[in-house]
Structure formats: C-alpha cells, structure tokens
C-alpha cells in the first residue's frame, strides 16, 4: 500500500507507481511501462537457473540475475 510506496521512496529514492487495469477495460490493452517488466521476466525465464527458485541464498539468486543480464547485454554488443 501507501506505506510501502513511502518506504521505497525513503530507502531508495525511487518513485514507485502501481499500474492497475481500468475497471471498464474489455480485452487486451497495453499498460504503460508494464511490458518492460514482463519482457525482462520473460528473458530471465529462458535461463535454466532462473526458471525456478533453485537457489538457497537470495544473494546467489541475485548474482544469477546479474549474470543473465550481463549475458544479454554482451550478446547485444556483438
């Protein structure tokens, strides 16, 4: 809720915006910026170690995310 949004702002200096689907929406409609997050999660799902929660430590999971993003960015530079 609002307490979490305030905590994110205070802790990280980020502005967190919750994007919800309009109540009168019929069918598919593109929501602002949501596709960026969905696309990134999809890229992570292509890596076996990130497709499920295999890791015991959260720091290991974080490092796997960094490794996947480095791999994606290096492939784009080539």
Distance of CA 30 to the CA centre of its chain: 17
The pLDDT assigned to 13 comes to: 92
pTM, full prediction? 0.54
Secondary structure class of 17 (helix, strand, coil): coil
In angstroms, the CA 13 to CA 15 distance is 7
Neighbouring CB atoms inside 10 A of 31's CB total 13
In angstroms, the CA 31 to CA 22 distance is 10
Token couple for 66 = 């960094």
pLDDT in tens, 12-58: 998 888 777 778 888 887 777 777 888 888 888 887 777 777 778 88
* Residue of 69, 62, 20, 9 whose CA lies nearest to 43: 69
């Amino acid at each position: 809720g609002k307490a979490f949004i305030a905590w994110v702002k205070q802790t990280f200096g980020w502005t967190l915006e919750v994007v919800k689907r309009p109540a009168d929406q019929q069918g598919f409609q593109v929501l602002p910026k949501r596709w960026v997050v969905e696309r990134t999660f999809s890229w992570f799902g292509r890596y076996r170690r990130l497709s499920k929660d295999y890791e015991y430590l959260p720091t290991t999971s974080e490092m796997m995310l960094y490794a996947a993003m480095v791999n994606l960015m290096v492939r784009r530079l080539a």
